[in-house]
Structure 1
Amino acid sequence: MFDRLSSYAPQALGVLRIVTALLFIAHGTQKLFGFPVPAMGPTEGLMLVAGLLEVFGGLAVLVGFFSRPVAFVLSGMMAVAYFLAHFPSSVFPQANGGDAAVLFCFVFLYLVFAGPGAWAVNKK
């Protein structure tokens, strides 16, 4: 049974890449445009850079354009975001609101090693 499921691994990886990118883009549009909900604070400085990376990096990951290098940058961005914005208030991601940052960081890191999966513009 698992051998049969394994044959769908490229498609499952593609779905993971696409869904992650859509969620990531939503965080960027929240910061840049106040959509789908307003941002928590002003979008300037590092928050502006984060919003731009989330939208444009998320779009690149979504379509599978240079997914590995873009995912590497986004993974690092999420690690920095966690340690700058969340970690100072608590060690525990559930307590400091950083669980999404941790999850994005490691999903993007996985994409660096696994590649984009199915339905990517390029396989790099």
Structure 2
Amino acid sequence: MVVGLLFLCRGLSSLLGVLGGSRGTGQSVPVGQWPGWWAALIQAVCGALVLVGLFTRPAALIASGSMAYACFTVHQPDGLLPIRNGGELAAGAAPHGPGGAAGRVAHSVGTGLGIRGATS
């Protein structure tokens, strides 16, 4: 749920210019601009789906695909390592997607509380 909320907030910041806006500028990404607006739309929709628990696997797959695209085509030209090119979010989320991380968090919390069979 938390990772879904983070994806939703990230998408809304770029789509609507809220929460600091796109890249901290306070502005939204122009409608239809490739790839920024479409990535923000995917982040917002998929984040909302994961947050409420609907279609989590397809939403996580699509979100992780968009993060992989961002990692290799948007961030990597600015530097090889994510810490140098501003792609920490894309690099961290691409292999797992929001659903994968949410499952691991649920498993960790369930195991910590002693719930048997707490899996993703």
The alignment's TM-score, normalised by the length of structure 1, stands at 0.70
Q: Does the alignment pair 1:52 with 2:41?
A: yes
Q: Does the alignment pair 1:70 with 2:63?
A: no
Name the structure, 1 or 2, with higher relative contact order (CA <8 Å, separation 6+). 1
Report percent identity of matched pairs: 31
Name the structure 2 match of 1:21.
4
- Structural mapping, 1:1-124, within 5 Å: 18-40=1-23, 42-43=29-30, 44-108=33-97, 111=100
Q: Distance in 1 between matches of 2:48 and 2:99?
A: 18
Q: Return the letter of the residue paired with 1:70.
A: A
SS in 1 for 2:2: helix
Q: Which runs of 5+ in 2 are unaligned?
A: 108-120
Q: Return the letter of the residue paired with 1:99.
A: E
SS in 1 for 2:94: helix
Q: Distance in 1 between matches of 2:70 and 2:12?
A: 17
